[in-house]
Structure 1
Amino acid sequence: MNLSKLPFVVTLICISTFLSINAQEFNAPKFGKGLFNLVGKDSTWTMKVGLRFQSLATSQWDVNNGLSNPESSMLIRRSRLKFDGYAFSPKLKYKVELGLTNRDQSGASYYTHNSSRQILDAVLKWNFSGNFVLWFGQTKLPGNRERVISSANLQQVDRSLLNSRFTIDRDMGIQLRHKFKLSETFVVKEIFSIAQGEGRNVTRGNQGGHQFTTRVELFPFGEFASKGDYKGSDLKFEKNPKLSLGIAYDFNNNASKTRSNQGAYMYINGTSEGSGAEFYQTNISTLFIDAMYKHKGFSFMAEYAKRNADDPYAKNSDGTLTGDEVQVGNGLNLQTGYLLSKTVELSGRYTNISLDKTITGKAAENQYTLGLSKYIAGHSLKVQTDLSYTDIGLKTNQLLYRLQVDIHF
């Protein structure tokens, strides 16, 4: 079967299942909680089926000499099918998420077997003892907070430049998660991950070593309502101050991409994509420090990222430079928002990207964003707009306006 047709086949299966369910057995949840829920007759399995998409319009101008070189576009930014529930026992949960847009599926190559990449998440979560949960499959690595926040639950139209430059995104592997209490309110969460280190949907082997990630989160005032530490905006209007402090460290052994498990492969000796390709490999480490604070409609999120490499310059076997280099440097993102009412929020964001200019040749970037959101039904139905000014150093500065409608069932 042509894998490019997989989303449509899955959709047809879902529709057929929906139509075959006896009306008395059908459990239709309220808006935003899934299209429908299925429960096995013996209650040994459940499945919630969800759908969402984002319609985005953008306009962009160069601003060094007035508003010049205008560009505009309209697209479906994201469109996703999501399935989750438990199998055999409530202690064995699963999640599958499929991307339907061309942007979700981009990146097909020899290493993904030259097919589109529909699978975003396919992961099992086994609560094998107490507060210990073992994850196995493909999903987001426990890196920067902003990346782990679902794109459906963002405070602004999209994630920051820090995320696009430093995220470690998704990969295939194992994660061990645990949490415990230091006191009645102080909660600590720990995550340790071992992944392939090549990014998502790679099917043709592991080019280097493995990727090791560890993350610790501190909740001195207790956990957030409705997992709000990983949702933009304080839509729950936390009655008491809530704070989450996180630190994560990622080590990718013998990485062969310019941004750890992301970016472009670093080929050497004149080779390129294919079975005879040769790669430059070096150890790459990434540090993330972040925080999320919420109280009575006010929210503040801060993130810092730093990437290093043992030797960032890609070299051929004879020692000559290939022209590729690891994108080493650091980034800072500060974001805040305040709900003017239960449904209207004003937000602001400042992002600084400072890659090592002597290595990458790239000047520092500063981006300033002002956002406005209307939450019609929380994050399940919202209209968001923002205006960003980007100072790109030696290049032409830019002004970007975006308008997006987000709906998910």
Structure 2
Amino acid sequence: MKKIIFLLSMLSFGAVNAQIDTKKDIEDIKISSLPYYSYGKGLGMTSADSLFQLNIRFRMQNRVTYFDYEEQESNYEAQIRRLRLRLDGYVGNPKFQYALQLSFSPGDVGEIEEGKNLNIIRDAVVSYNPNKNWSFLFGQTKLPGNRQRVNSSGSLQLTDRSINNAQFNIDRDFGFQANYFQQQKDQFSYNIKTAVSSGNGRNWSGKDNNVALTGKLELLPFGTFKKGGDYFEGDIQREEKPKVMLSGVLHKNFDANAARGQQGDKLYENRNLQSVFIDAIGKYNGWAGMVSYMNRTTDNPLTVGENSDGLQETRYVFAGEGMDYQLSYTFPVSHYEIIGRFSTQNVNDAIYKLNVPNQKQYSFGVTKYIWEHAFKVQAEVTYDDLSYHTGDQKNNWYVRFQIEIGI
């Protein structure tokens, strides 16, 4: 009898242990199925089996601006200039990546116009990166254009890009891109970037025959910048050795139907456009300097047709050229920065005679970096000098305060 009781006790103990082990196994299974979280540039989540990764980022720019323009009553504007949500990561394999960026502020989306698509989508692109040297992209994203345009608007020293970038840049487009990178920390480096795109800009859904070709060469004679500093403004990383990037871009947009190629009012006749961009940026010990040249040319910038009222109207390609010069210094302890920029813009003679002005712009700004470019406070004063074909002169200026924050 004692043997039977002992045997039953052992069986009961084993059953309890088996139950405990089963519960533990269940908990282990649950934990192993949860995603892994990371915190760096945004909030990252990686599946337990590493088959997908999602990184979430946002940023916003809140600003208030006081304007004093000739022949206009002084006024102010308070707005959310930019509100962006960015998702990126990979699916299946880290070599296959994606990036999605949406915009929600009125200044980003623009007014809803009949017959035009809503401009919420900024980026929607898939990339294949077989190794550290090659990258292939398909979808809608920024073309490899001028340096300041390829910079994120959140990585600017002043509150906005220059007047030349506003008129001559080639912005975003849908198509294929192929990039080759040859980068070394302290040795001569270079990048080659190419694109074949629709030429119609972002969120285009119509049928057309035009196409755009873009090629860009970047040279880094003293090696790469700290943390990719060739694509954010200001020497907030304080380069210990001089760093320089020189770049050149040639862009051709065949049978373009908009005034600025990928952007602007619709033309009455299609035009072949050519753009050239030449940039140089240097950084050392808190100092940062930039100079850039931009132009857009076409055989005949004027197109003539009838507007909705049946009246003859001229619409034009914004052709011309411009130069930007920018210099800044970031103080080492306080992380305050002072910035100055001077821009000149000269339009094509044919549209100058339509009283489109040549322009000079002077900007001075102060930035306080709280957390690099992700959290900063900016103040800027800008003065514009406009010269018209009629001989008229106009002088406009504005003062702006802006806070940028994001992850």
TM-score, normalized by length of structure 1?
A: 0.84
1:357 Cα deviation from its structure 2 partner: 3.4
Most deviating of 243-252 and 21-30: 21-30
Report the secondary structure of 1:203's partner residue.
Answer: coil
Aligned equivalent of 2:85: 81
Report the secondary structure of 1:229's partner residue.
Answer: helix
Instruction: Supply the AA of the counterpart residue of 1:229.
Output: D
Q: Which of residues 322, 329, 335 in structure 1 aligns to 2:320?
A: 329
Alignment partner of 1:347 is 2:336? no
Aligned equivalent of 1:243: 244
The one-character-per-residue Cα deviations of 1:110-132 (angstroms, maximum 9, x if unpaired) are 6644xx22111111121135612
The answer to whether the Cα contact below 8 Å between 2:318 and 2:347 also exists between their aligned partners in 1 is: yes
Query: How well do the aligned residues superpose, as a CA RMSD in angstroms?
Result: 2.4
Aligned equivalent of 2:119: 117
The one-character-per-residue Cα deviations of 1:155-201 (angstroms, maximum 9, x if unpaired) are 11111101111111011111100022699701110011011111100
State the alpha-carbon separation in 1 of the partners of residues 184 and 386 from structure 2.
45
Alignment partner of 1:374 is 2:368? yes
The one-character-per-residue Cα deviations of 1:332-379 (angstroms, maximum 9, x if unpaired) are 111111012341000000011110233343231000000000001111
Identity %: 32
State the alpha-carbon separation in 2 of the partners of residues 312 and 304 from structure 1.
20
Report the secondary structure of 2:37's partner residue.
Answer: coil
Report the secondary structure of 1:262's partner residue.
Answer: coil
Report the secondary structure of 2:167's partner residue.
Answer: helix
Q: Structure 1 residues 365 and 172 mapped into 2: Cα distance closer, same or farther (>3 Å)?
A: same
Most deviating of 48-57 and 175-184: 175-184
State the alpha-carbon separation in 2 of the partners of residues 25 and 306 from structure 1.
49
State the alpha-carbon separation in 1 of the partners of residues 403 and 184 from structure 2.
42
Report the secondary structure of 1:27's partner residue.
Answer: strand
Aligned equivalent of 1:58: 65
Instruction: Supply the AA of the counterpart residue of 2:192.
Output: E
Aligned equivalent of 1:252: 253
Gaps (5+ residues) in structure 2? 1-30
Q: Which of residues 345, 350, 353 in structure 2 aligns to 1:358?
A: 350
Q: How does 1:91-240 map to 2 (within 5 A)?
A: 91-106=95-110, 108-109=112-113, 112-113=116-117, 116-128=118-130, 131-180=133-182, 185-206=187-208, 208-240=209-241
1:401 Cα deviation from its structure 2 partner: 0.4
Most deviating of 183-192 and 130-139: 183-192
1:146 Cα deviation from its structure 2 partner: 0.5
1:328 Cα deviation from its structure 2 partner: 1.1
The answer to whether the Cα contact below 8 Å between 1:63 and 1:399 also exists between their aligned partners in 2 is: no
Q: Structure 1 residues 53 and 182 mapped into 2: Cα distance closer, same or farther (>3 Å)?
A: closer
Alignment partner of 1:41 is 2:73? no
Report the secondary structure of 2:192's partner residue.
Answer: strand
State the alpha-carbon separation in 1 of the partners of residues 185 and 374 from structure 2.
35
State the alpha-carbon separation in 1 of the partners of residues 152 and 184 from structure 2.
28
Instruction: Supply the AA of the counterpart residue of 1:363.
Output: P
1:108 Cα deviation from its structure 2 partner: 4.4
Aligned equivalent of 1:29: 39
Instruction: Supply the AA of the counterpart residue of 2:395.
Output: N
Aligned residues: 366
The one-character-per-residue Cα deviations of 1:253-272 (angstroms, maximum 9, x if unpaired) are 011111112111013xxxxx
State the alpha-carbon separation in 2 of the partners of residues 147 and 77 from structure 1.
17
The answer to whether the Cα contact below 8 Å between 2:33 and 2:48 also exists between their aligned partners in 1 is: no
State the alpha-carbon separation in 2 of the partners of residues 109 and 63 from structure 1.
29
1:28 Cα deviation from its structure 2 partner: 5.1
State the alpha-carbon separation in 2 of the partners of residues 184 and 55 from structure 1.
38
Aligned equivalent of 2:402: 404
State the alpha-carbon separation in 2 of the partners of residues 323 and 184 from structure 1.
53
Q: Which of residues 272, 283, 307 in structure 1 aligns to 2:272?
A: 283
The one-character-per-residue Cα deviations of 1:104-154 (angstroms, maximum 9, x if unpaired) are 1126456644xx221111111211356121011100111111011101111
Q: Structure 1 residues 22 and 155 mapped into 2: Cα distance closer, same or farther (>3 Å)?
A: farther
1:27 Cα deviation from its structure 2 partner: 2.2
Gaps (5+ residues) in structure 1? 1-20, 268-279
Aligned equivalent of 1:390: 384
- For the pair shown, the structure with the greater C-alpha radius of gyration is 2
State the alpha-carbon separation in 2 of the partners of residues 222 and 262 from structure 1.
35
State the alpha-carbon separation in 2 of the partners of residues 37 and 316 from structure 1.
52
Report the secondary structure of 2:107's partner residue.
Answer: helix
The answer to whether the Cα contact below 8 Å between 2:145 and 2:170 also exists between their aligned partners in 1 is: yes
